[in-house]
Structure 1
Amino acid sequence: MVAGLARSITSEQISLNLTTLDFDLENTTAAQISSAILTAAKCQVSGTSESEYYVSDGMFHISRLISNDSINDVYAFPKESTEPVLFESGMRLVGQVQSGQVTFARDEESNDDILPANSVEVRATVCGLSKEGVLVISGSDYPTTFSHEIGGVIERVGSSVSGFAVGDEVVGFSFSNFATHQQVDSNLLQKITLGDSLAEITSLLMAYGAALYGLKELANLRPQETVLILSGSGHAGLAAIKMSQLMKAVPYVAVATEAEAKRLKAEFDLTEAQILLPTSVPLALQFKEASGHSGADVVFSSGLVDSAVAQECWRNITVFGRFIDSGRKNVLNRTVLDTVPFHRGANYMSFDILDIYAQKAQILGELLRFTISLYRQGSIKPLGAISEIPIADLDDAVSAFSDDFSSGKTLLTYQPSEKPLNVTRSRPSLKFHGDATYLLVGCLGGLGRSLTSWMMKKGARRFAFLSRSGTDGEQAAILVEDVKKAGAGVQVIRGDVTVKNDVERAIKAIPSKYPLRGVVHAAMVLKDGLFYSMTYSNWVTSTLPKVQGTINLNKALQATDLDFFITTSSTSGTLGTPGQSNYAAGNAFMDSMSRHRHLNNKPSTSLVLPMVLGVGYVAEHPEIEEALKRKGIYGIDEEHLLEAFEVSMAIQSQKGAADHVVVGMDPSKLQKSLHEAATTDGFWMEDARFRSLIHTMKSASPTSTSGSSASILSLINAAATPAQSIEIASEHFMDKLSRLLMVPRDEFEPDTKRISSYGLDSMIGAELRNWIFKEFALDIPFQQLLGESMTVTRFAGLVCANQGIVVEG
């Protein structure tokens, strides 16, 4: 535990010179211990960059984070490892994103999967390309699915499915990766009937799904109400025009170009007044002049609409107005809503089709049926020309993609082409035992849903969950019910992993007919805070699940023959994230316990994870994602998370396998995330353990530096006058504060406004203090930084005084 604690404390206070020694007591004498302590103290005084030692038989060992080539060579293939393959009907392939392009992997084992009872397997003949998918492929968004509309033929039917048969041609929602064969909930499909066009219906689904849900379900749009549809809302905006007309409302559309205006007039029979071209007049005023109303009854927007325009329309929305914000949002680009419209009874409602699928998929089934009903009545038709492109040309289709108001719909067709697909070579695939039980601890949330679904695809059929609250929570109850519906046996054992008797009772509850073969321990509690102010209660609450829980599981399973034992650790323990000393200590203990089990010939891997995007705790707390990104730390998505689980489970059967696997420390991605965070001095970068990693990062980006302290202090000292020195220090400091606190640069008042008034709290303060020490060689107490009289200018004066520059006053 001490290693993780020490790393976190030193990252909170970089001026602290702290060294840890870990002794192998079985092979180290008292004299060797004394000698080692003296040697370490001398090294510490001499200024060595090492801060952690492991001592065995008098020999010092140091730690380095290096690439695990034996694992990477087998499981992590570079992009150039693909081979060209001509597509043929019947191939089983699934798409994957690599550097902004889609390659395909063979998916032969999916043919052996047991279908969930309510699902069917569809062989795709056509799939829609949507804005949501393009964002994922281009790297602008993190969901793991990038195809959402499917048309095809049923090849297999689940045991509880009625109304569908093998050979039926169907269309519907399917959240996949352009796989050739997709397992789809039967509620999200409809059969094609005489007179239907498979391509036309497929092209409608995402656009009309968003428009219907936004206008009909959320806005409850009424006849004669005005609807303002914003430029940038894409094909969903086009569908919103048509739905407004069908619901006898009056649509007004903000467009970007004359070409868009010309198309909308012709296709939707809109008047000149209903189309708002960009001018010097604010959009809200244009709408008022065109409609005669002070504000729109409903505004239809999306995550890609210009935020300033969206805010303007929200501020001017009418009494009891409804602002509908559809589609994906970037957490770092969200702005604070003006609260005034709420006082007029206005509502702001945000949704995303991907979230509806994840949380309430039955709603999508209703939207599907309503859309097809409108199509068959002749009320709606495709939104412009449909381009059918062979799947081999997917990357070209992504590059050319547009969903502005003048564009049509792109469909990918699964047909032979002279152009080959890029198909990756296959890697070892893990299989679970259908007659075994797998114990999951702390997995009744988003992680559990993802993990159990993935394990079932690979053969697992029985799960035991150990949880303090059991299925009391709504999400836990839904997860368990969904796993049962999918055909798996489930035991939910109410108990606390930190209580020895509860753990023993849970293991005894597993029937001998289905013996326990694997364990995933993912229980965690976050109680973040700086160490100097952390309470004992918060320390214990966070560390107990990881420390005592792991001890209890290890002891209770000594006589159990397992295939794998996984503990989910975190890079918090490896890096020493500021404000998480308790969490870091618990994770470091998990890493050590995994090593201990290995030494005793027990299977174990500590899976060291970064933040996970889109599923689990971070997905439910976007402010954590924002804080970590600000530190230059990147996250992994659900797909990479499951790949990490697969590797960590598979290697435990191999002799000499690693006892821990660190994920999320790819040099090129770290370099990119540091650049995007506008920082070159990550809190961990001076730690000698990461020397090899940093060397690789610098080799990839030779212009990068580890900091700028020498240059800024030289500028301060070279200034002609003390006043100029203060100005240089102030400007540099305000640049950092602006990035760190996301406060516009022009809002700073360096002479009059105290630093704490810009939103500086203790967590950000720790990061800022470390930066100050690196940049200005000044160790300033946090309370002094938050002082009532501490302005930017006064702080700059302290910096200059610390450099021996005499500042008057």
Structure 2
Amino acid sequence: MLDMWMHASWNCVASFGRFVEIGKRELIDAGRLDMSIFLRNTTFTAFDLSDLFYHDSKTHRDILSNTMKEVLEMYRAGEIQPVPITTFDASDMVQAYRYFSLKDRVGKVVISLENQSSRIPVAPPKYLTIFDPEKAYVLIGCLGGLGRSLSDWMLGRGARHFVFLGRTGCDKPSAHELVFRLRDAGANVTVVRGDVSDIDAVNATIAACEHKPIGGVVQAAMGLHEALLLRRGIQPLNEDEFLQIIDLAIVQEKGASYKGTSHILTGLEPFRVRELKTQGFDVSHGTLQDPRASIIATAFRGPHDDSKSNIQIQIADIQWLKEAPASVVSVAAILVAEMDAPSLHDAVLRVTRKQFSNLILMPLERIENGKPLLDFGIDSMIAAEFRTWVWTAFKVDIPFLDILSPHKSLGMLSNFIAAELEKGRA
């Protein structure tokens, strides 16, 4: 598209006038010229001086040599003056670029390196990872979503050989577009249709590497419903965060001074957790009770959340705990908030109902005790998380299929937990 100043200048050409374009940006961008100006008998000419220098004809090269000779003679004689030059020190490079972009700037802008003590501002590289262009990189399930961003990023960091394994291959338009874009940029791309659980598909993927050493494997053949990332303040990663984490993981692996493996924990964002707390949800996580997670747990609780330290368990004040078996007394800390409940069964139901409300982020008043858990829209992952919480809180093992059963309600499961506690089983 022609620059607005280009349009304005072309519109100013007088009748029988000539316009000589010595730039190339508008020509390369295939800009459109206003043809009505030619009604003034004007002439538009594009001219690139370097074409004379590189021309095959000696006649054209001689024209450039003779012209340069004439210009130098006129300059030495003082007949022509150089264009204004504005000089900036290397330490003022940012100001130089700002000045260069001013619309009323005239002349040339020069960056001076004469001052050897100048400090040049340098921004650290955003990503440090460099991929080997002679190695093949296997990407499983990376033909959609963040996988497309990852392959583009790897291409920009040097990777040139990609082998994708996906169940749908290039059937989706987005996958087809990705492969076309990578190949158009000079990459060698092979797509194998198949599932990673199929050993024949995996072998075909490895064979497609064409005897090149494999530089790495990205296993992304898993999709999570967005509700899993947003529960309890666990946040989804945006594209930039995702790439920076991948970059950090690879760089640490290359520069590690220790032997072994490590994990990078992502998505735990304490501010969102506190926001959910202000909405009335108890977003405490059973895993954070592990002493090894004490630092993360402290961040989740916040600087002023000392409620746990203020809990005073007074078993003697709770009627249904006075003669309870040891298995019930051992979980009294989690039941103390319901000390006004008329029975152990009611206390367990209240605690379990609140936890289920927090788990699916549904207001407590909408949780019906007699409604099957499956009717609340839970999936296998939520069921597994709920089952883990029951074990952590009560040391009672609920069958996984009971949670997903269309006949089991929250009230029935709570009765089962209470009955197990009364039996003294752990």
TM-score (norm 1): 0.30
Picking from 353, 359, 362, the partner of 1:734 is 353
Cα distance in 2, alignment partners of residues 483 and 788 from structure 1: 48
Residue identity in the other structure for 2:148: R
For residues 384-411 of structure 1, give each alpha carbon's deviation from its aligned partner in whole angstroms, at most 9, with x where no partner exists: xxxxxxxxxxxxxxxxxxxxxxxxxxxx
Amino acid in the other structure paired with 2:293: F
Residue 681 of structure 1 and its aligned partner are, at CA, apart by 3.5
C-alpha contact (below 8 Å) 2:143/2:166 kept by paired residues: no
1:523 aligns with 2:144: no
Q: In structure 2, what is the Cα distance between the partners aligned to 1:433 and 1:720?
A: 62
Match of residue 766 from structure 1: 384
Which 5+ residue runs of structure 1 have no aligned equivalent? 1-119, 124-164, 170-185, 195-413, 417-422, 511-515, 527-616, 619-623
Q: What is the distance in 1 between the residues matched to 2:32 and 2:234?
A: 46
Could you say if the C-alpha distance between residues 522 and 191 of structure 1 is closer, same or farther in structure 2, counting changes exceeding 3 Å? farther
Residues 207-245 of structure 1: per-residue CA shift (max 9 Å, x gap)? xxxxxxxxxxxxxxxxxxxxxxxxxxxxxxxxxxxxxxx
Q: Tell me the CA shift for residue 657 of structure 1.
A: 6.0
Counterpart CA distance in 2 for 1:786 and 1:428 is 46
Asked if structure 2 preserves the Cα contact closer than 8 Å seen for 1:756 and 1:787, the reply is yes
Contact 2:402 2:408 in 1 (8 A): yes
For 2:138 and 2:126, how far apart are their aligned partners in 1?
A: 24
Pairing of 1:657-696 with structure 2 (within 5 A): 660=261, 662-665=263-266, 669-675=268-274, 678-687=281-290, 689-691=292-294, 693-694=296-297
Report the CA distance between 1:429 and its aligned residue.
4.8
1:426 pairs with one of 117, 121, 124? 124
In 2, are the aligned partners of 1:467 and 1:494 still within 8 Å (CA)? Answer: yes
TM superposition shift of 1:522? 1.8
Q: In the superposition, relative to structure 1, how do residues 191 and 768 fare at CA in structure 2: closer, same or farther (>3 Å)? A: farther
Higher relative helix content: 2
Unaligned runs of 5+ in 2: 4-22, 36-100, 104-120, 312-330
Provide the C-alpha distance between the structure 1 equivalents of 2:303 and 2:33, rounded to a whole number of angstroms.
Answer: 53
CA change 1:801–1:425 in 2 (3 A) is same
Q: 1:427 to 1:785 in 2, by over 3 A?
A: closer
Counterpart-to-counterpart distance in 2, 1:662 and 1:167: 48
Match of residue 481 from structure 1? 180
CA distance in 1, matches of 2:131, 2:221: 31
- Which consecutive segments of 4 or more residues in structure 1 shift more than 6 A? 190-194, 786-789
- Structure 1 residue 458, shift from structure 2 partner: 3.6
Structure 2: distance between partners of 1:493 and 1:440: 10
Within-5 A mapping of 1:740-779: 740-750=359-369, 753-776=371-394, 778-779=396-397
More RCO (CA 8 Å, sep 6+)? 1
TM-score of the aligned structures, taking structure 2 as reference length: 0.51
Shift of 1:476: 2.8
- In structure 2, what residue type is equivalent to 1:767? E
Specify the alignment match of 2:55 in structure 1. Answer: none
Rounded Cα–Cα distance in structure 2 between residues aligned with 1:683 and 1:192: 68
State the partner residue of 1:713.
Answer: 335
The amino acid that maps onto 1:446 is G
Q: Does 1:646 align with 2:229?
A: no
Say whether the 8 Å CA contact 2:137–2:215 is kept in structure 1: yes
Residue identity matched to 2:355: K
Write the deviation string for residues 640-677 of structure 1: whole angstroms up to 9, x where unpaired. Answer: 221223233444553626754533447xx443354456
- Asked if 1 retains the 8 angstrom alpha-carbon contact of 2:274 and 2:302, the reply is no
Report the Cα offset of residue 626 of structure 1.
0.5
Is the aligned partner of 1:656 residue 2:257?
A: yes
| 3-state secondary structure, aligned to 2:137 | strand
Distance verdict in 2 for CA 1:704–1:449, change over 3 Å: farther
Instruction: Report how far residue 481 of structure 1 moved.
Output: 0.8
Aligned partner of residue 647 in structure 1, secondary structure: helix
Helix, strand or coil: the match of 2:162?
strand
Q: What amino acid is the match of 2:389?
A: W
1:455 corresponds to: 154
Q: Is the 8 A contact 1:773 1:779 kept in 2?
A: yes
Deviation per residue, 1:287-319 (Å, 9 max, x gap): xxxxxxxxxxxxxxxxxxxxxxxxxxxxxxxxx
Q: How many percent of aligned residue pairs carry the same amino acid?
A: 21
In the alignment, the residues of structure 1 paired with residue 421 and residue 258 of structure 2 have an alpha-carbon distance, to the nearest angstrom, of 52
The residue type equivalent to 1:671 in the other structure is P
1:490 aligns with: 188
Contact 2:273–2:283 at 8 Å: present in 1 too?
yes
Letter of the 2:288 counterpart: M
Q: Which amino acid aligns with 2:215?
A: V
Judge conservation of contact 2:348–2:417 (CA < 8 Å) in 1: yes
- In structure 1, the residue corresponding to 2:208 is in which secondary structure? helix
Q: 1:351-391 CA deviation, whole Å, 9 max, x = no partner?
A: xxxxxxxxxxxxxxxxxxxxxxxxxxxxxxxxxxxxxxxxx
Provide the alpha-carbon RMSD of the alignment. Answer: 5.0
> How far apart are residue 712 of structure 1 and its match?
4.4
